[in-house]
């Protein structure tokens, strides 16, 4: 299958359902249509979102408006066995990257999303019992069946990524990255992505809302202070600068937006036009760490 191209910002769907805005189909249609009109065509799901209900809500939209499917790339994730009322058979939270679970989860997601295929399937969390050859065999079968276009992982370390990538080509690693989570810059994750030419996706690029809801935190306060002069310099808002900081990295990070608000979608798009100076980038890094670099 052909290589999948994603929009420069990914629309995260976790908060569109029961875990967030819980949009009815008409409001969801308005939101999705606006994203598509602005060039945001990639939508990120996971089977567990909304305790296994959010995919179905999105699928109801696609059933009502089937022409939308060809205009978008659908991403979904599997591999977490979440304990909730919708999965009474799950006795303990666990990770499962077995061939059987990957297939069962994907086929359920396809049914929920009202589609024949997803553009990208991700293993949501590292399963320490993962057998690379078993996963590779199942992925190859799913690709041949036309059920997935590409395969990748989420929250994998660089070594875990390398191990699986040696058995089956991985299209992305969706990792947490922001000015409040710098690990990917130092643990080899972004180095690996850059070396392999595989753009990583970054979840919680705005620190899971902490910049807006946790102003009393010392680290957040330092970053907000450092952002103040940059807001005037670049004519930008804080959230735009936070995204621009990630976008500056040569690995071509694809931030996963968590917002359900059209106005914030529009604001986020402006980040694509901001090219931070190198000194400004490092000023924000040092504000985050609280110390001057060596």
30-62 tens-digit pLDDT? 999 999 999 999 999 999 999 999 999 999 999
Quote the pTM value: 0.96
Is residue 163's pLDDT more than 80? yes
Residue 3: its pLDDT value, please?
81
Buried b (16+ CB within 10 A) or exposed e, 82-91: beeeeeeeee
Mean local confidence (pLDDT), 260-283: 98
Structural domain spans, the chain? 10-216+242-274
Q: Which of 158, 97, 167 is nearest to 125 (CA)?
A: 97
Distances (CA, A) of 58 to 25, 64, 142, 160: 8, 10, 22, 31
Residue 213: its pLDDT value, please?
81
- Catalytic residues, which ones? 49
Is residue 185's pLDDT more than 50? yes
Residue 123 φ then ψ, to 5°: -80, 120
In sequence order, the 6+-apart residues with CB closer than 8 A to the CB of 282 are 293
**Which CATH superfamily, name and number, covers 10-216+242-274?**
NADP-dependent oxidoreductase domain (3.20.20.100)
Distances (CA, A) of 265 to 201, 212, 224, 237: 17, 16, 21, 13
Beta strands in 200-239 (DSSP E): 201-203
């Amino acid at each position: 299958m052909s290589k999948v191209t994603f929009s420069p910002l990914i629309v995260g769907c976790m908060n569109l359902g029961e875990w967030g805005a819980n949009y009815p189909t008409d409001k969801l249609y308005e939101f999705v249509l606006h994203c598509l009109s602005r060039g945001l065509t990639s939508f990120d799901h996971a089977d567990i979102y909304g305790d296994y209900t959010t995919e179905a809500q999105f699928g109801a939209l696609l059933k009502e408006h089937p022409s939308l499917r060809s205009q978008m790339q659908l991403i979904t994730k599997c591999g977490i066995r979440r304990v909730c009322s919708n999965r009474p058979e799950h006795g303990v939270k666990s990770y499962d990257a077995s061939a059987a679970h990957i297939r069962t989860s994907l086929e359920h997601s396809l049914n929920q999303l009202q589609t024949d295929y997803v553009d990208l399937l991700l293993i949501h969390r590292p399963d320490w019992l993962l057998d690379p050859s078993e996963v590779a065999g199942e992925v190859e079968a799913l690709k041949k069946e036309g059920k997935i276009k590409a395969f990748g992982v989420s929250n994998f370390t660089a070594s875990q990524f390398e191990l699986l990538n040696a058995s089956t080509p991985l299209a992305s690693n969706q990792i947490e990255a922001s000015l409040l989570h710098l690990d990917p810059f130092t643990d080899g994750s972004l180095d690996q992505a850059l070396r392999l030419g595989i753009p990583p996706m970054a979840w919680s690029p705005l620190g899971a809302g902490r910049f807006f809801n946790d102003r009393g935190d010392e680290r957040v306060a330092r970053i907000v202070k450092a952002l103040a002069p940059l807001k005037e310099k670049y004519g930008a808002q804080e959230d735009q600068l936070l995204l621009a900081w990630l976008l500056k990295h040569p690995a071509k990070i694809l931030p996963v937006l968590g917002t359900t608000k059209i106005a914030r979608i529009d604001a986020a798009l402006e980040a694509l036009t901001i090219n931070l100076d190198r000194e400004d980038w490092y000023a924000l890094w040092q504000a985050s760490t609280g110390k001057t670099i060596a």
